[in-house]
């Protein structure tokens, strides 16, 4: 029993633009019990209260938050560095974490973290981010998005971090999500028919998800074994 708990991958979960940790939690907890019981999920609110209308008003209750701000065409960013310091501080005080799960704006952030960390530009006080789950994600410097200075070289090399990419067929972010997926070494992909949302998992998607979790659990078990030898 101890070993099972010890090897339960722990993920910090980063919500979408102008939503909240609580909203992301409600959406992710729709996933089957067989997924939820294998992951330790921690949900954090963005540092900044929403500075405008939220797309989820009337669907989910406030408060709403955002991680950083951008101009209208997403070529310039504000408070990105502050956002990383805020997340690092939380991970330091509440960790250790094995991976990061992100949706939409949270997936933007999560995807860039391993590269920034690897290059020594950010997140140096915390353990290496080992795994990513990216839902409706995109890449800084993709088709239409600019790049914050700290993330300017985050994708200069293929990202060698086990990653699961959840991509919606009807999602306006789909082309960006495909570009992001190609930036990773051996990405695991779940395609679903919905739009910009956290989907329920059908039988095929569930099998892919459980396969990914089993793989990363095995990697954690191996690293535990090596550290004890």
* pLDDT reading at 202 higher than 90: yes
Q: Report the C-alpha gap between 211 and 128 in whole angstroms.
A: 22
CB atoms within 10 A of CB 226: 8
Q: How far apart are CA 188 and CA 203, in angstroms?
A: 16
Mean pLDDT of 204-210: 97
**Is the pLDDT assigned to residue 179 strictly greater than 70?**
yes
Q: Helix or strand or coil: residue 55?
A: coil
User: What domains lie within the chain, and their CATH numbers?
Assistant: 10-226 (3.40.50.1820)
| Token code pair at residue 150 | 């700290």
Tell how far CA 140 is from the center of its chain: 14
Instruction: Name the 3-class secondary structure at 132.
Output: strand
Structure tokens that stand for 95 in this block = 């960790």
Quote the CA–CA distance of 145 and 29 in Å, as a whole number. 30
- pLDDT, residue 2, reads 40
pLDDT at 94: 97
Task: State the pLDDT at residue 168.
Answer: 97
Determine the pLDDT at residue 224.
65
Sheet containing 188-192: order of strands:
40-44, 10-14, 99-103, 131-135, 163-168, 188-192
Band of the pLDDT at 213, cuts 50, 70, 90? very high
Q: Which residues of 191-223 are buried (b: 16+ CB within 10 A; e: fewer)?
A: ebeeebbbbebeeebbebbeebbeebbebbeee
Q: Output DSSP code: residue 30.
A: T
**How far is C-alpha 137 from the chain's CA centre?**
8
């Amino acid at each position: 029993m101890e070993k099972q708990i010890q090897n339960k991958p722990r993920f910090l979960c980063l919500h979408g633009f102008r939503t909240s940790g609580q909203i992301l939690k409600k959406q992710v907890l729709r996933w089957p019990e067989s997924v939820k019981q294998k992951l330790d999920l921690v949900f954090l609110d963005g540092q900044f209260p929403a500075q405008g209308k939220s797309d989820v008003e009337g669907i989910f209750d406030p408060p709403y938050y955002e991680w950083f701000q951008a101009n209208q065409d997403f070529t310039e960013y504000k408070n990105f560095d502050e956002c990383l310091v805020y997340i690092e501080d939380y991970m330091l005080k509440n960790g250790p974490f094995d991976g990061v799960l992100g949706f939409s704006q949270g997936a933007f952030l999560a995807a860039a973290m391993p590269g920034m960390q690897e290059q020594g530009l950010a997140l140096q006080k915390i353990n290496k981010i080992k795994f990513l789950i990216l839902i409706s994600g995109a890449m800084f410097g993709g088709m239409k998005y600019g790049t914050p200075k700290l993330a300017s070289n985050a994708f200069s090399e293929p990202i060698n971090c086990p990653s699961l990419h959840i991509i919606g067929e009807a999602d306006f972010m789909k082309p960006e999500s495909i570009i992001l997926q190609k930036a990773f070494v051996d990405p695991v992909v779940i395609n679903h028919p919905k739009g910009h949302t956290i989907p329920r998992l059908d039988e095929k998607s569930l099998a892919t998800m459980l396969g990914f979790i089993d793989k990363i659990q095995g990697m954690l078990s191996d690293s535990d074994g090596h550290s004890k030898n």
